[in-house]
A and B are shown apart, each in its own frame.
Chain A
Amino acid sequence: MSDGPASQPGGSLSAIDKASFKRDLTDVVPHLRAFARGLCGRPDLADDLVQETLLKAWAAQDRFEPGTSMRAWTFVILRNAYLTDMRRNRFRGEYDEGVAERILTAPAGQEEPIHLSDLHRALLTLPAERREALLLVGAGGFSYEEAAAICGCAVGTIKSRVGRARAALTEMLANGAIPRRSTDDEIAHRAILEELDVVAAGNGVSSRP
């Protein structure tokens, strides 16, 4: 309970720090949901992932440095949880049917509008590491440097992943070569899983708190 702020075995957090931690964590939940949705596609699984992230963040709160970015800190936790879950084959690369209704306004002079659902589906076919790089920079508004810190890799690596992800999406959207059926998603996802094994083995991506 919160009636004993004076005795804090193992924790250096004051009651004020604790309250501000909770407030910061609460504020960042919508962003965690958006990042998770982009990573794993399905809203229900994404929300499970966010809950898991909140539990882990809470348990690790004395490792959070006040004044640093809560969003970046929790994104690291979320991506590690995602990578772990994905290796357990929990996610199957399904996409959000809900966005299928929403349509991007077509640029002038272009007959075919780009559907957000197409974009999302195309995004989900990308290898996990490129997808997350693009999400962090292109959707989350992180700098290359921040994204590199979140992913635990070099800035140049992030730049290259974002560049490749952009090129792949542009290609897919321009050609309309976006997987439609869930079988395609499964094939794409298997490729992602295989790539992930390599990544996880080589980079120790899950070892960073």
Chain B
Amino acid sequence: MASNHTQGGSNGGGDDSAQRRPPEWADGLKQLYDSVVEEALPDSFKDLLDRLDAIDPARGKGAPRDGRETSQ
């Protein structure tokens, strides 16, 4: 009985190390992320920021009306 218990414990230890060591796909996760970071930025983002920049956020009355909500 006692030896059974010890075996169970060592199995649990194996699980633990699997969580601590970065798995072999870990680099893939970074690749997924980095591949998007390195994509050329669509003009729409720069356009949006330029439009926002032309508006005084404190007054905010002339909020951009391009079909998107600015409130919340």
User: A interface vs B, CB < 8 Å?
Assistant: 1-2, 4, 8-11, 22, 25-26, 29-31, 33-35, 37-38, 47, 50-52, 54-56, 58-59, 61-62, 99, 102, 104, 107, 110, 114, 116, 119-120, 123, 134-135, 138-141, 163, 166-167, 169-170, 173
Contact = CB atoms under 8 A, between A and B. Distances in A.
A8 B32 contact: no
The range of chain B's interface size is: 35 or more
Interface of B: 15, 18-19, 22-39, 41-42, 44-46, 48-49, 52-60, 64, 68-72
Given A11-B58, A25-B49, A170 B37 contact: no
B70 to A, nearest CB: 5
Contacts of B60: 59
A107 B28 CA distance: 12
Contacts, number: 124
A30 B41 contact: yes
Contacts of A140: 33
A88 to B, nearest CB: 12
Contact of A37 (B15, B19, B36, B70): B36
